[in-house]
Structure 1
Amino acid sequence: MPPTYLFKLAHIQPEIAAYYDLRRKIFVEEQALFQHDDIDALDAIAHPIIAVAPDAPSLEVLGIVRIYEPEPRLWYGGRLGTHPDYRRGWHIGKGLINKAVTTANAWGCDRFLATVQIQNVRFFQRLHWHSLEEIEIRGITHHLMQANLDYYPANNEIRRVLQYSQAS
Structure 2
Amino acid sequence: MTTSSYTYKLAASASEYEAYCELRQMIFAEEQGLFERDDEDQWDAIAYPIVALNASKHVVGVVRIYETEPQVWYGGRLGVHPDYRRVGQIGRGLIYKAVTTANTWGCRQFLATVQLQNVKFFRRQHWHSLEEIVICDRPHHMMQADLEYYPPSSEPRPAIGYWRLGMRELEAS
Q: Do they superpose with TM above 0.5?
A: yes
Q: Deviations over 1:131-161 (max 9, x none)?
A: 0000000011000000000000001000000
What RMSD, in angstroms, separates the aligned Cα atoms of the two structures?
1.3
- Aligned runs of 1:147-166 on 2, under 5 Å? 147-163=145-161, 164-165=163-164
The reply to whether residue 70 of structure 1 matches residue 68 of structure 2 is yes
Q: Deviations over 1:23-74 (max 9, x none)?
A: 0000000000000111111000000000001x31xx4210000000010000
CA distance in 1, matches of 2:4, 2:83: 13
User: What does residue 39 of structure 2 align with?
Assistant: 38
Residue 130 (structure 1) shift: 0.3
User: What does residue 98 of structure 1 align with?
Assistant: 96
CA distance in 2, matches of 1:4, 1:118: 28
User: What does residue 60 of structure 1 align with?
Assistant: 58
- Aligned runs of 1:89-168 on 2, under 5 Å? 89-163=87-161, 164-165=163-164
Residue 11 (structure 1) shift: 2.0
User: What does residue 13 of structure 2 align with?
Assistant: 12
CA distance in 2, matches of 1:3, 1:150: 24
> Normalising by structure 1, what TM-score?
0.93
Among all aligned residue pairs of Structure 1 and Structure 2, give the percentage whose two residues are the same amino acid: 59
User: Unpaired runs of 5+ in structure 1?
Assistant: none
Q: Deviations over 1:67-105 (max 9, x none)?
A: 000100000000000000000110000000000000000
User: Unpaired runs of 5+ in structure 2?
Assistant: 168-173
SS of equivalent residue, structure 1 residue 141: strand
User: What does residue 26 of structure 2 align with?
Assistant: 25
* Larger deviation, residues 154-163 vs 144-153: 154-163
